[in-house]
Amino acid sequence: MKIDHIGIATNGIENAASIYRDALGMHVTETEEVSGQKVRVAMLPIGESRLELLEATSDDSPISKFLAKRGPGIHHIALRVEDIRATLADLKSKGARLIDEEPRTGAGGCLVAFVHPSSTGGVLIELVENVGGIPGHEIT
C-alpha cells in the first residue's frame, strides 16, 4: 500500500494552494469538482503521493461540516489499495465501522470508500483503488 494522498480541508483551494505553490515550489496538476462529495479538489503531487486540497461546494458538504466544527486542517489520509472491495470486506470482518459499505467514484474517477474515525484512532481513512490503471491516476 501507499499513501495516495492527504486530504486537507480549506476555506478556498486557490488561497490554500498559494503557500504550497509560491513558498514550497509545488504545483497544482488537477482541479476537479467531485459532485458526489460536494467538494472541489486541487491535487498537488509530492513524491509518489499528493496533497488534496478540498473546498466545499455546498453548505451540506462534509467539508462544510468539518470546517464548522474544527476549522481548516488535515481532513483524511487516503491509502491506495489493490482491491477496495476486498479491503472493505476485511475491515468489516474485523469489526471496523465503515462510512461506505460500497465504493463510490471519487476524484480522478477512482473508486473510494471512507472508514469511520471511531475505528481508526480518530483518523478519517479513505481507501482508493485506481481503476484507470494509470500511476498517479491523472484525469484523462
Task: Report helix, strand or coil for 15.
Answer: helix
- Per CB under 5 A, the segment of 19-27, 74-82, 90-98, 113-121 that binds Co ion is 74-82
State which residue, 91 or 108, has the beta carbon closest to Co ion.
108
How far is 66 from 71, CA to CA, in rounded Å?
7
Which residues inside 102-121 make contact with Co ion, applying CB under 5 A?
Answer: none
**Torsion sign, CA atoms 130, 88, 55, 20:** negative
Cα-atom radius of gyration of the chain, to the nearest Å?
A: 15
How far is 75 from 77, CA to CA, in rounded Å?
7
- Per CB under 5 A, the segment of 14-22, 26-34, 47-55, 82-90 that binds Co ion is 47-55
Least distance in angstroms from the C-beta of 76 to Co ion: 6
Check if the beta carbon of residue 128 is closer than 8 Å to that of residue 134. Answer: no
User: Quick check: 78 binds Co ion (CB under 5 A)?
Assistant: yes
- Per CB under 5 A, the segment of 16-24, 65-73, 90-98, 122-130 that binds Co ion is 122-130
Say which amino acid occupies 126.
E
Least distance in angstroms from the C-beta of 17 to Co ion: 16
Catalog residues that contact Co ion under the rule CB under 5 A.
7, 52, 78, 126
